[in-house]
Every structure is written in C-alpha cells, then in structure tokens.
Structure 1
Amino acid sequence: MTAQQTTTASEQTTTQYHWIMTVQTSDGRVNTRTAIITVPDGFTRASAFDYVFKQFKADYGSPLTVLFFELQPNRL
C-alpha cells in the first residue's frame, strides 16, 4: 500500500524571500530598502515586486524609477 500525501488550505506551505530594492524619486532622492517576506506557494515574482513597490509608492508617491530589485530565497 502506498501512502498518499494531501495538503489542505490550513497546511499551505510558505517560503521566506529576502528582497532589496532601490528607487529614485522625480526630484533625485534615492532610497534602498531590504527585508524578508514570507509568501505562500503560488506567489509570483511579479506579485512580490508589486508588494514591495507599493510600499515605496506609499512613502514617496509617483513617479518612481526602480534602479535595482533583487529577490532570492532566504536560505543558504
């Protein structure tokens, strides 16, 4: 007999990612931030970018130019 593995919504796995983003405002200010986010399976790189970018927009407004963005699993 073979064991079957099932996953319910309450058992959804997550992964931690470390991100770094640098933006420049229209008046030339440059800001770099870094943090760790924990995302559920199925979360896309584009979704992570939007999540991070919205934080900068909330603080600095628009327009913003992204100078650098990096997203990597937070493990060695």
Structure 2
Amino acid sequence: MSAHHYVMTVQTGHGRIHTTDGVVDMSGDFTRADCYAHLLEEMTRQHGHVAVLFFALEPNRIAQTA
C-alpha cells in the first residue's frame, strides 16, 4: 500500500469553485485514472455537473536525501 496526496479543483455550471484534498492509500491495481474517476464522481455527487480545473496526485511521503 502506498499513500498519495491529492488535490482536485472543480467549477460548477454556476461558476462556483470547489477544492478538495486528502490522502488516499493506493494498493493493488488502483491507478491514477481510478483515483481521478473516484474523486470526480464524488465532486459531481456533491456539486452537480462540474468541470475539472486542476488535479494533482503525488506520493505523500517526502523523499529523504542521503
């Protein structure tokens, strides 16, 4: 399992902008596209039809330098 931090910003048909972020544990066959689709579905459920303005998904762990 690997933890990833995400940020998604959407705009509704009425021009309102909403941003969500959090950490998701990605395991097995869970892909970046799966995460995007899941988040888009959740934002659509909450706000109706939306357009994605921004999406980022990065490993949550900060790399340590030697």
The two structures, once aligned, show a CA RMSD in angstroms of: 0.8
Query: Which SS does the other structure have where 1:47 is aligned?
Result: helix
Equivalence for 2:61: 75
Aligned residues: 62
Query: Which SS does the other structure have where 1:48 is aligned?
Result: helix
- Scaled by the length of structure 2, what TM-score is found? 0.88
Equivalence for 2:21: 34
In 2, the alpha carbon distance for the partners of 1:37 and 1:19 equals 8
- Scaled by the length of structure 1, what TM-score is found? 0.77
Larger Rg computed on CA atoms: 1
Letter in 2 for 1:57: T
| CA shift for structure 1 position 42 | 2.2
2:13 matches 1:50: no
Q: Which has the higher contact order (CA 8 A, sep 6+)?
A: 2
Q: After the TM superposition, list the runs of 4 or more consecutive aligned residues in structure 1 that deviate by more than 4 angstroms.
A: none
| CA shift for structure 1 position 43 | 1.2
In 2, the alpha carbon distance for the partners of 1:46 and 1:19 equals 12
Structure 1, unaligned runs of 5 or more? 1-13
Structure 2, unaligned runs of 5 or more? none
2:6 matches 1:19: yes
